[in-house]
Amino acid sequence: MHTNFYFLRQLASALETSLTGLRFMECFSQDRDEVVLVFAQAKGRLNYYKPFYIKATLRPDFSGLSFPETVRRARTNSVDLFEAISKFSEDDSPNPAFEKEGRVVIGVRSFLNERCLAILLEDNYAMVFKFFGNRPNLVAFYHNTVVELFNQRLVADYQLIFDTFDRPIDQSWDAFEKADFDHRKLFPTFGKIVNDWLSTEFQKQKLQPEQQWILIQDVVKQLESPIYYVTKLQYRPTLSLLPVGDILQEFSDPIAATNRFYGLYNGVDTFDREKGEILRVLDKRKKRAESLIDVNMQRLIAREEGASHEEMGHILMANLHDIQAVPGAKSPESVTLTDFYRDEPITIKLKPDLSPQKNAENFYRKSKNEKIEEEFLAAQVASREKEIEQIDQQKTDLAAINTLKELRRYSKLHNLQNEDGRNKGEISQLFKEAIVDNFRILIGRNARNNDLLTQKYAFKEDLWLHARDVSGSHVVIKYQAGKPFPKNVIERAAELAAWYSKRRTDSLCPVIVTPKKYVRKPKGLAEGQVIVEKEDIVMVVPKE
- As a whole number, mean pLDDT of residues 106-110 equals 96
What's the pLDDT score for residue 97?
43
Spatial CA neighbour of 131 closest among 189, 184, 85, 214: 189
Q: Which fold has domain 5-164?
A: ibrinogen binding protein from staphylococcus aureus fold (2.30.310)
The bridge status of strand 103-111 relative to strand 79-80 is: unpaired
What's the pLDDT score for residue 68?
93
- As a whole number, mean pLDDT of residues 531-539 equals 90
Q: Compute how many other C-beta atoms are within 10 angstroms of the C-beta atom of residue 132.
A: 15
- As a whole number, mean pLDDT of residues 224-252 equals 91
- As a whole number, mean pLDDT of residues 218-229 equals 91
> How many helices, marked H, and strands, marked E, lie in the chain?
14, 23
What's the pLDDT score for residue 127?
97
CA distance 512 to 15: 57
CB 190 within 8 A of CB 242: no
Residue 71: pLDDT over 60: yes
Residue 456: pLDDT over 90: no
CA distance 241 to 227: 6
CA distance 196 to 349: 42
Residue 183: pLDDT over 50: yes
Residue 91: pLDDT over 60: no
CB 472 within 8 A of CB 454: no
Residue 482: pLDDT over 50: yes
Choice between 128 and 406, residue whose per-residue pLDDT is larger: 128
**Tens-place pLDDT, residues 133-145:** 878 999 999 999 9
Residue 99: pLDDT over 50: no
What's the pLDDT score for residue 300?
75
Choice between 322 and 54, residue whose per-residue pLDDT is larger: 54
Residue 88: pLDDT over 70: no
Return the HEC string of 274-337: HHHHHHHHHHHHHHHHHHHHHHHHHHHHHHHCCCCHHHHHHHHHHCHHHCCCCCCCCCCCEEEE
Residue 94: pLDDT over 50: no
The type of residue at 39 is F
Residue 96: pLDDT over 60: no
- As a whole number, mean pLDDT of residues 254-258 equals 94
Total residue length of the chain: 544
Percent of the chain predicted with pLDDT > 90: 43
Percent of the chain predicted with pLDDT > 70: 91
pLDDT band at 48 (very low <50, low <70, confident <90, very high): low
Choice between 207 and 98, residue whose per-residue pLDDT is larger: 207
Torsion sign (Cα): 395, 397, 403, 404: negative
What's the pLDDT score for residue 303?
66
pLDDT band at 380 (very low <50, low <70, confident <90, very high): confident
**Tens-place pLDDT, residues 313-346:** 888 888 887 776 555 557 788 888 888 888 889 8
What's the pLDDT score for residue 420?
38
- As a whole number, mean pLDDT of residues 23-45 equals 85
pLDDT band at 429 (very low <50, low <70, confident <90, very high): low
pLDDT band at 425 (very low <50, low <70, confident <90, very high): very low
Residue 309: pLDDT over 50: yes
State the chain's mean pLDDT as an integer. Answer: 86
Q: Range with the lowest mean pLDDT among 27-41, 129-143, 284-298, 492-506? A: 284-298
The bridge status of strand 145-149 relative to strand 228-233 is: unpaired
- As a whole number, mean pLDDT of residues 505-529 equals 88
What's the pLDDT score for residue 490?
94
Report domain extents, the chain.
Answer: 5-164, 269-416, 426-540
- As a whole number, mean pLDDT of residues 274-302 equals 84
CB 530 within 8 A of CB 452: no
Please give the model's pTM, rounded to 2 decimal places: 0.60
H/E element, 476 = strand 475-477
Report how far apart, in Å, the C-alpha atoms of 79 and of each of 33, 103, 330 are: 13, 20, 85
Choice between 90 and 3, residue whose per-residue pLDDT is larger: 3
What's the pLDDT score for residue 324?
64
What's the pLDDT score for residue 311?
87
Choice between 214 and 91, residue whose per-residue pLDDT is larger: 214
What's the pLDDT score for residue 352?
84
What's the pLDDT score for residue 329?
57
Choice between 98 and 24, residue whose per-residue pLDDT is larger: 24
